[in-house]
Structure 1
């Protein structure tokens, strides 16, 4: 089997309900680390396709049934040392593109157990404080300006 390296371009998908509750997932490889849906692009995929695939893989939700929006927001960050082996030699930085997926209300999700241990819905401000990634916190900070509470 040929080892393929991850592409250093990824998506972060903030899944939220119209009342601004946010879905967070607990990483299986780091219990206690909470995040939104994330994932790297596969070869030949555009960013939207990656977002739809990652949402389906990590939550069981069909992003195409709801409002998936490209927030036209991106972050570049240094890849954690422990995960660099997944990338080509010398690759140390990743560009992450932010999407939002609005659901009418919080739903239970079906987790991919190799990736996530648990999920929870939290008010946006609490979610922003709970995520481990600065890019995830920065994206959540934008949510109140993107969606108005109904």
Structure 2
């Protein structure tokens, strides 16, 4: 059991709303996690009509990998990621990702891997990595930053 990435579960659940649902382009149904140049990871998802991207400064990805495409996320996993408290009455702190499964845990300390069914484990769920290439999402991002202050957009993922 080797974990290849971990992210903030609330960020993951929020960005997953932007992923495609049952699209024939299987890589759009996945959430893309990649290393951020200044530390942490970027979590990105798109259905090619709208896109969500978020920087997780505390996220981590295995140094041997540039990115991870996590597909086949079940509703139970998303529910555990966005829950206020888990079975141990603590909020979810990390979503740990491995090759064949993902684990939502309240374990804040990331110096050692969590136990799959330990006291801090909220949910261990089967997930799959997608073997594919995620679209080049940076091409659609504006190259210049707007100077005027605008309100945040409202988003209804459904």
Higher relative contact order (CA 8 A, sep 6+): 1
More strand by share: 1
TM-score w.r.t. structure 1 length?
0.31
Larger Rg: 2
More helix by share: 1
TM-score w.r.t. structure 2 length?
0.30
